[in-house]
A and B are shown apart, each in its own frame.
Chain A
């Protein structure tokens, strides 16, 4: 069964900490995405990547960075966590050649910053 795996389901971090959220996919997908989900706001795109070592800003990149050193792994980094980054974070991947098949999502990481 193909999947997107996010390393943590729940995470609690302190304000000011550097936080790493990891996402791994086993489908050989070129495209990977990080979203945050907040009630009433839906899914907002943080960063995305269409290839190894490539990254592009989404709609809300401030306070975040990403790393894609290998095709299967896309990491989201909170440089200095703040309470307003408490949210559900969703990773997704898709294929360039089968772009009409939509995304495959991970199970999400619920991050609480205290």
Chain B
């Protein structure tokens, strides 16, 4: 079965420190992977995606993600966290069974401490 796992419910990091939000996936074939961010009482906003090409993908607000096929991971990273990065982050993978659906992880709450 296709799935996405975000093993951490919450990640705390000090402002200025690097951050990592973890995501692993299980799909058949080559995955199409996404990260979204959600601020309080808002919808999800697109951050970045991996379809093909370079394993390091750069996205909005200074975020990047590293695709690792052997470890089936797509971890979100940022070199220097800001308090304003505090939000809920979702990893998603496209369903590869011929539908247009995306499968989401359960989300990781990032808290950046001043």
Q: Which residues of A contact B (CB under 8 A)?
A: 4, 6, 9, 31, 33, 40-43, 45, 48, 50, 90, 92, 94, 96, 99-108, 110
Known: A90-B44, A105-B43, A110-B41. 20 other contacts (CB 8 A): A31-B100, A40-B9, A42-B90, A42-B104, A42-B105, A43-B90, A43-B104, A50-B100, A90-B43, A96-B100, A100-B49, A100-B94, A101-B49, A102-B34, A102-B92, A102-B94, A103-B102, A104-B46, A105-B36, A106-B43
Closest chain B residue, CB of each to CB of A104: B46
In the complex, the answer to whether B101 meets A33 with C-beta atoms within 8 Å is yes
Q: List 15 A-B contacts (CB under 8 A).
A: A4-B43, A33-B101, A42-B106, A45-B101, A48-B100, A48-B101, A100-B32, A100-B94, A101-B49, A102-B46, A102-B49, A103-B44, A105-B45, A108-B41, A108-B42
Residues of B18-66 whose CB lies within 8 A of A: 32, 34, 36, 41-46, 49, 51
Q: How large is the interface on B (under 10, 10 to 19, 20 to 34, 35 or more residues)?
A: 20 to 34
